[in-house]
Structure 1
Amino acid sequence: MATWADVRRLALALPGAVEGTSYGGQAWKVRDKAFVWERPLRRADVAHLGDAAPHGPVLGVAVADEGVKHALIADDPAVYLTTPHFDGYAVVLVRLDAVDVPELAELVTEAWLAKAPKRLAQEHLAAGRTDPAT
């Protein structure tokens, strides 16, 4: 089970990542672009999800495209979800208390790669750093 401390540690280990806020919640950004953030469910989200609405912490994660989002949700709906608010956006919601830390590390890295400037991402990949802990 992952925690906000894990999110913070993994996100801040990536080049150019900073911690800030977005809509009153914690967010981790690269060059002013959020790549992972705290995303409490709103009333409309809970109404839409009904009994399937998670009760624990929810992490918003940028993904490469909507295909990736839908693949994650189809592969593991116990961990990944979306709401109508994110229709048309390359963002997936993650039940933080249902994802393990190695999977979270991959999500955070991929989210960073989706939002980082191309040159910074290429330099990071060229250095062989695919794990944010390195």
Structure 2
Amino acid sequence: MATWDDVRRIAMALPETTERSSYDGTAAWRVKDKLFVWERPLRGTDREALGESAPDGPILAARVADLGEREALIEQDPKVYFTIPHFDGYPAILIHLDNIDVAELTEVVTDAWFTRAPKRVASQFRAREAESQG
């Protein structure tokens, strides 16, 4: 089970990440002012659309590379990943934090960061990671 502290720690460890509240006061993380993960509580219309399958607890939204990746994640583990009509056609996934472990969360947040990071910043990060593992 992951927490907001885990999200914050993982996101802020990525280069050039900033944390800033969204317009509604919820937490959001950006790289070079591009949103990559954010707190996304379910609204009334979301709960109506999801019906009984609407999860309780903390919900994180994360950018994904494309809609195919989003569908693959949902198919892989629908207890963790889901979407809502508001995100139709938008490359993002919703994550039930109570149902994801920290290792998988790290992968999702890092992948989201890569979708938004400038190429130069992403290349430098990959090079540092390869060097540290090498």
Counterparts of 2:129 and 2:107 in 1: how far apart (Å)? 14
Cα deviation, 1:97-132, whole Å, max 9, x if unaligned, reads 100000000001000000001110011011226xxx
Q: How many residues align?
A: 129
Q: Distance in 1 between matches of 2:67 and 2:21?
A: 24
Give 1:70 shift.
0.5
Distance in structure 1 (CA, Å) of the matches to 2:88 and 2:22: 19
C-alpha separation in 2, matches of 1:127 and 1:9: 19
User: How far 1:22 sits from its partner (Å)?
Assistant: 1.4
Taking the aligned partners of 1:53 and 1:47, their CA distance within structure 2 comes to 8
| Matched letter for residue 18 of structure 2 | V
Unaligned ranges ≥5, structure 1: 130-134
> Which of the two has greater helix per residue?
2
In 2: Cα distance, 1:128 partner to 1:9 partner: 17
Indicate the residue corresponding to 1:65 in structure 2: 66
Map of 1:1-134 to 2, 5 A cutoff?
1-23=1-23, 24-128=25-129
What percent identity do the matched residue pairs reach?
Answer: 57
TM-score, scaled to structure 1? 0.94
TM-score for both structures, normalised by structure 2: 0.94
Q: CA RMSD in A?
A: 0.8
Moved runs in structure 1, 4+ residues, more than 4 A? none
The CA deviation at 1:47 is 0.1
Partners of 1:11 and 1:105 lie apart in 2 by 8
Q: Map Cα deviations across residues 31-78 of structure 1 (whole Å, 9 max, x no partner).
A: 111111000001110000011001100000011111100000011000
